[in-house]
Structure 1
Amino acid sequence: MRRPSLPVLLTALFAVLLTACTAAPDSGADDARTPSGDRWRPRPGTDWQWQLSGRLDTSVDVPVYDIDGFDHSKETVAKLHRDGRKVICYLSTGAWEDFRPDADDFPKSVIGRGNGWEGERWLDIRRTDVLEPLMAERLDMCRDKGFDAVEPDNMDGYRNRTGFPLTADDQLRYNRLLARLAHERGMSVGLKNDLDQIPELVDDFDFAVNEQCAQYGECAELTPFVEADKAVFHVEYELSTDRFCADSRRLELSSLLKKYELDAWRRAC
């Protein structure tokens, strides 16, 4: 085989170097668009505070705060960051709330039955053509305020009387949509309740948030998150800590006793 001449070798080498230099910016741009490697991933047993009402108490010595995304400012999130905390943005994504500033943006056709809380009604999660841009705007708000993660609430409408014939597939599709929207904005996202669909959704979510799994004997169903090295942030309202904390420690849940109004009061396991 004839060897290439020196000029040919130099020309080829220059072409390789030029390709590498011009390709590097594109690679960086891809990383910026999909910052999955930079997302916060809380591990099992991470302590936390969940406060959705009352004057925010920022003095609780825990690494994670979960607070209302609408009610708190960028400055509040920044203060919690300066104190070394990660901050989760609470949003209701499966129910309409008449007290939110964007309530009038939701057409009546997607608003269903009440969900048991004053001023709240289930949403028709099949209508992603309507809900996706509205939820994207809410997630933009969380991102712009500096939140690290999102807790989308009311993510199990298909198991409730919503006024719409929702199916399990509808719920999986919608929950994955919310996870994708959060990830596209560089935030992690938690699966709220929806225990039956954990096996299908554990890979799509970065942590779980659960209410009352101990009261209803369901905490073991959250094990797939712990096995995936993902935190389970858990709250009980009606059981004393001596009735659930031992199991919580065994299952590696991050468990609290809270009041239903979710004010600053807490008792951790």
Structure 2
Amino acid sequence: MTGRRLRFALCGLVLLTVLYAAACTTTGDDDPDEGRGTPKTAAVPPSGLGGLGPASPPAASSSPPPAPAGWWKPAVGVTWQWQLTGTLDTSVAADVYDVDAVTTSAADVARLKAAGRRVICYVNAGAHEDFRADAGNFPESVRGKGLEGWPGEKWLDIRRWDTLEPLLAARFKMCKDKGFDAVEPDNVDGYANNSGFPLTAEDQLTFNRRVADLAHGLGLAVGLKNDVEQAEALAPAFDFAVNEECAHYDECDTLKVFIAAGKPVFHVEYDVDTAKFCPKTTALRFSSMKKKEDLDAWRQTC
């Protein structure tokens, strides 16, 4: 917050040949504006200018502002399970579960957390899905080309934060209300795909950081999904990474920035045998496993 400032002015008035001295004081009071949250790059919260009026002198001492609410900080090396289809299997011995925001109930989340698990909420942040209940809330103007291999999904114009922010905020709040610890925003690499919009790398960085801030503002941890090309720039804004097939595409080294920062990399391969990728990703301290592409309950860990 900004301190209060007192502004003083001395006024003199001469009447005829008699000098008459008078002092007058004007004051201005800056009311602190707490705001909705502090951007990650800001050194101090913003302040607003309040109305003019009598001001009291600043206190001799003041208490520091309360620290912002924290969120879960997963550790490097924790085990995980990623299941987005089929009946949820809560018996898998994993520290962390990554499950769908909509099909997973609050009771499912509570059951997992009662067993000592942390739970990540899968949310599609960068693409429109025509099968979701809120699909009609996304105007046609922000829907681009379809995602190759994913019927019913279209890339979003991530430059339109004015439109997307309230829609994503509602999804993230649903995760929070169900008791999730974190969100996994999917499809945050539209700039590197044929989205139908002239998206740039800078557009993507801006959007992804906004998504991270949105999650943190609700007290949720947030993971960077794929977008390995921008991992170094985005690692400070995210709490973990979720990656598909970095071994297959020879990209795993790019994600070491997360491990170096004490943040886990939750990694899966679909077509590569564990005997081929596990030695490397284990040495990198990734949390790796092999999954089927439909992401049912089956898993094979390193």
State TM-score, norm by structure 1: 0.88
> Which residues of structure 1 form unaligned runs of 5+?
1-14
Q: Secondary structure at the match of 1:161?
A: coil
Report 1 or 2 for greater relative contact order, CA contacts < 8 Å, sequence distance ≥ 6: 1
Distance 2:225 2:75 in 1: 16
1:118 is matched by which residue type in structure 2? P
The residue aligned with 1:35 is: 69
Distance 1:199 1:236 in 2: 22
The residue aligned with 1:66 is: 98
Is residue 172 from structure 1 mapped to residue 232 from structure 2 by the alignment?
A: no
How far the C-alpha of 1:77 sits from its partner, in A, is: 0.6
1:85 is matched by which residue type in structure 2? R
1:111 is matched by which residue type in structure 2? R
Task: After superposition, give the CA deviation of every residue in 1:60-111 in whole Å (9 maximum; x if it has no partner).
Answer: 0111000001111111111100000000000000000001110000000000
2:240 pairs, out of 198, 207, 211, with 207
Count of residues paired in the alignment: 243
Is residue 99 from structure 1 mapped to residue 124 from structure 2 by the alignment?
A: no
The residue aligned with 2:166 is: 133
How far the C-alpha of 1:153 sits from its partner, in A, is: 0.2
Distance 1:168 1:103 in 2: 26
The residue aligned with 2:180 is: 147
The residue aligned with 1:230 is: 263
Task: After superposition, give the CA deviation of every residue in 1:222-265 in whole Å (9 maximum; x if it has no partner).
Answer: 00000001000000000110010000110000001000000000
How far the C-alpha of 1:199 sits from its partner, in A, is: 1.2
Q: Secondary structure at the match of 2:288?
A: strand
The residue aligned with 1:124 is: 157
Which segments of structure 1 move beyond 6 Å, counting only runs of 4 or more? none
> Which residues of structure 2 form unaligned runs of 5+?
1-58
The residue aligned with 1:264 is: 297
Is residue 218 from structure 1 mapped to residue 251 from structure 2 by the alignment?
A: yes
RMSD value over aligned CA atoms?
1.2
2:147 is matched by which residue type in structure 1? N
State TM-score, norm by structure 2: 0.79
Q: Secondary structure at the match of 1:244?
A: helix
Q: Secondary structure at the match of 2:216?
A: helix
1:90 is matched by which residue type in structure 2? Y
How far the C-alpha of 1:215 sits from its partner, in A, is: 0.4
Distance 1:161 1:218 in 2: 21
How far the C-alpha of 1:43 sits from its partner, in A, is: 1.6
1:221 is matched by which residue type in structure 2? T
Distance 2:162 2:219 in 1: 23
2:178 is matched by which residue type in structure 1? K
How far the C-alpha of 1:151 sits from its partner, in A, is: 0.2
2:84 pairs, out of 42, 45, 52, with 52
